[in-house]
Amino acid sequence: MAGRIAVYADCGPPFIVASSSRPRLPLHVQPRTNPDTSMTPAVTMMVGGILVILAVWVPLFLRGIPLSLPMIAVVAGAALPSVGGSEHPLIRYSGLVEAVTQFALIVAVIGAGLKIDRRFSLRGWTSTWRLLLLVMPLTIAAIALSAMWLLGLSLGLAIFLASALAPTDPVLAANVQTGEPGTGDEDETRFALTSEAGLNDGLAYPFVVLGISLASGPLGESGWERWAIGSLAWNVVGGAAVGAAVASALVILNDQVREPFKLRSSGSGIAAVGLAFLAYGCAELVEANGFIAVFAEAVAIRNFVPSYAYSRRLNHASEEFEKVLMVMILAVLGASVWQGLLAGIGWREIAFAAIALVVARPLATFFGFLGSGETASTRKAVGFFGIRGIASLYYASLAVPHLPQGTASHLMSIIGLTVLASIFFFGVTADTAAKFCSGKAQKRN
């Protein structure tokens, strides 16, 4: 999966495909030319330092109260000085936002994979397959129909918007995921949410590509074939294969060296970032899905190497990176609010966001889990925790260069509104709901 999307028009309508084979251009951010801007380099460094400290310190004060670190990050961002310019930061610096959110997701996805103690199997991961193959497509369909009905979007833009909002977030949903490796904190609800969050960020990509492609014009028979084979089948299956292959190669290599020189002997969890980047880069080289490759690599390593101690170190390091990046991203989201992000929002957009958060996923989960044999509390919990966040902002920023400026700004506003609503709604209710579901499970046992 590429970080960029290219539009090709050869003897037919334009079709958008991953462009891993293209040389990557340096990331350019518009120069600071507005004389009114107050975000000087010194202020930027100072604000960045404050945000990192907040990411480490604030959680200590939030124990037992219905507030979350993401909520604090958004509020802190709203107090940031203006970056100047006529556009809010999510649009003006969309390239930078894309790069940072991509980094955050890569780190979060490997963390999600490392948390899972359950060995991989088709039968043992049934709830995951239902969430990915049934619930997610149904959610996309429900959100897309709502976008066409309430917002008057075309089919292509509706599919893009729905695909960007369908993935649950591995960064913001940490408190309803499994615990550290080997802790045993992995009931069916937590396992399903963790494995889904690790995979659906990547699985959304083919549908994001489809939406933007349809927004550019009819695909035609060849366009549909290229999408189905390249952007869907190979993108997903290839990503999983690359991740498993990279993990196997690393495990074999590690087994060939004596104990003092094995990777775990370093005691450094920072290797998690290296593992994630290696799998992602390998997948990019063959135009496969990098996010799925990273998750597959992490799960394969946990299956091949039964070392809880070092897995915990890797997981802890990924969580620390993830937390800092999350605070920075959400601070930019908060800054964007008072700089015009929600300027064009009306009752239709608010109704759409409500449907996307509290109607589409629970309804899709109800139908997707029919006949599953899962308990009612598990189905309700999985349907309730549809937390949206960093992944939605990533796909929104990814699409900005390929859409008209007004369209891109409007879609970014809708996605921003939905993410903000998700952060505050689930930030207040997640702990209570998680304890309720946990209590139900204990009573049944």
The DSSP bridge partners found for residue 229 are none
126: its two tokens: 């049934």
- Which of 204, 156, 154, 116 shows the shortest CA–CA distance to 388? 204
The pLDDT assigned to 10 comes to 44
> Which residues, 6 or more positions from 109, have their beta carbon under 8 angstroms from its beta carbon?
170, 198, 201, 202, 276, 291, 294, 295, 298
Residue pair 88/336 in contact (Cβ under 8 Å)? The answer is: yes
Kindly tell me the burial class for residue 215, based on how many C-beta atoms sit within 10 Å of its own C-beta (0-12, 13-18, 19 or more). buried
Helices (H), 58-153: 69-78, 89-92, 94-115, 126-130, 136-151
Q: Please report, for the chain, the start and end positions of each structural domain, with discontinuous segments joined by +.
A: 102-440
For the chain of 445 residues, list the mean pLDDT of each consecutive stretch of 10.
49 42 34 46 78 78 76 84 69 91 94 89 93 96 97 96 91 67 74 91 95 90 92 95 94 83 76 92 96 95 78 83 89 89 93 95 94 87 86 94 92 96 85 61 52
Rg (CA), the chain: 21
The pLDDT assigned to 178 comes to 72
- 3-class secondary structure per residue, 358-375: HCHHHHHHHHHCCCCCCC
> Which residues, 6 or more positions from 396, have their beta carbon under 8 angstroms from its beta carbon?
90, 164, 411, 412, 415, 416
The pLDDT assigned to 316 comes to 82
The pLDDT assigned to 12 comes to 42
The pLDDT assigned to 352 comes to 97
- Distance CA(338)–CA(297), nearest Å, equals 40
- Distance CA(359)–CA(238), nearest Å, equals 33
- Distance CA(13)–CA(242), nearest Å, equals 31
- Distance CA(414)–CA(129), nearest Å, equals 29
- Distance CA(211)–CA(213), nearest Å, equals 5
Dihedral angle, C-alpha 164, 334, 385, 348, nearest 10 °: -60
Q: How many CB atoms lie within 10 A of CB 224?
A: 14
- Distance CA(119)–CA(121), nearest Å, equals 6
- Options 1.10.20, 3.30.450, 3.40.1350, 1.20.1530; which CATH number does 102-440 get? 1.20.1530
Q: How many CB atoms lie within 10 A of CB 246?
A: 23
- Distance CA(69)–CA(431), nearest Å, equals 13
20: its two tokens: 């891993």
Residue 5: its H or E element = strand 5-8
What proportions of the chain, in percent to the nearest 5, are helix, strand and coil? 70, 0, 25
Query: Which DSSP category does 131 fall into?
Result: I
